[in-house]
């Protein structure tokens, strides 16, 4: 009987929308950092993208509560939507800290971290788009997400070491430490997305 009831496949559309918004926000964060004179306007633009992503997340939850047959386990749908939402939240938090803390000029480490964030959100987006058809190319994209997350870990470690060694102003140390750590968390959440998808694909194998 259940095979005669169509499964609601719009969840895949929602995941892909969330992921695409994550890439867009990451690219805007990169633009903000490399063209800092317009930082406040870019921060508000990122905030608007995060708001759009929140609306998609709310729609996922609403659809989950009103759909009888789902294409994936309900807890997996909720987990994936939440992790994708987290990516946007931390990108927004990174842009906000750069403006609210009145940073005069981004550091080279900050620019390098922005490059990693753009690359990892794009790799994450490719992984998300494999879910609909359980494309085996997912594994290649997941490996790339993991590699970039490790790159961000190393960059954070080196950036903090240089910060404590070279920066004499303790207030600046506190500001940059939090900015670097927030940016690195973006990459952690991208890896979480890939891990959730991997678990789903294993269940479907």
- In terms of average pLDDT, the best of 7-11, 71-75, 134-138, 188-192 is 188-192
97-134: pLDDT as tens digits:
999 999 999 999 999 999 999 999 999 999 999 999 99
- In this prediction, residue 160 carries a pLDDT of 96
Q: What is the mean pLDDT of the chain?
A: 93
Instruction: Indicate the DSSP class of residue 6.
Output: P
- State how far the Cα of 117 lies from the Cα of 140, in Å rounded to an integer: 18
pTM beyond cutoff 0.75? yes
92-to-69, 138, 200 alpha-carbon distances in Å: 34, 27, 28
**Domain residue spans of the chain:** 7-196
> Which residue's structure tokens are 């609909």?
132
Coil, helix or strand for 97?
helix
Hey, which CATH number is domain 7-196, 2.60.120.260, 1.10.3720.10, 1.20.58.220, 2.60.120.10? 1.20.58.220
19-51: pLDDT as tens digits:
999 999 999 999 999 999 899 999 999 999 999
Q: What percentage of the chain exceeds 90 in pLDDT?
A: 86
Place 69 in a pLDDT band, splitting at 50, 70 and 90.
confident
Could you tell me if residue 6 is left (phi over 0), alpha (psi between -120 and 50 degrees) or otherwise beta?
A: beta
Instruction: Indicate the DSSP class of residue 35.
Output: S
- State how far the Cα of 163 lies from the Cα of 172, in Å rounded to an integer: 9
- State how far the Cα of 71 lies from the Cα of 79, in Å rounded to an integer: 14
């Amino acid at each position: 009987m259940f095979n005669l009831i169509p499964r609601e496949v719009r969840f895949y559309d929602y995941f892909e929308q969330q992921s695409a918004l994550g890439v867009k926000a990451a690219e805007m964060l990169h633009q903000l950092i490399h063209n800092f004179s317009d930082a406040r306007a870019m921060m508000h633009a990122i905030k608007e993208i995060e708001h759009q992503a929140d609306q998609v997340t709310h729609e996922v939850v609403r659809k989950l509560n009103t759909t009888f047959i789902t294409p994936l386990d309900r807890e997996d749908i909720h987990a994936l939507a939440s992790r994708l939402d987290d990516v946007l939240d931390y990108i927004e938090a990174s842009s906000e800290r750069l403006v609210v803390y009145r940073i005069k000029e981004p550091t080279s480490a900050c620019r390098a971290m922005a490059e990693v964030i753009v690359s990892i959100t794009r790799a994450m987006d490719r992984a998300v788009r494999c879910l609909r058809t359980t494309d085996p190319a997912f594994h290649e994209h997941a490996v790339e997400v993991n590699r970039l997350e490790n790159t961000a870990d190393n960059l954070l470690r080196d950036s903090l070491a240089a910060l404590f060694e070279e920066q004499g102003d303790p207030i600046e140390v506190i500001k940059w430490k939090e900015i670097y750590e927030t940016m690195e968390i973006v990459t952690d959440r991208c890896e979480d997305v890939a891990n959730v998808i991997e678990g789903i694909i294993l269940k479907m194998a």
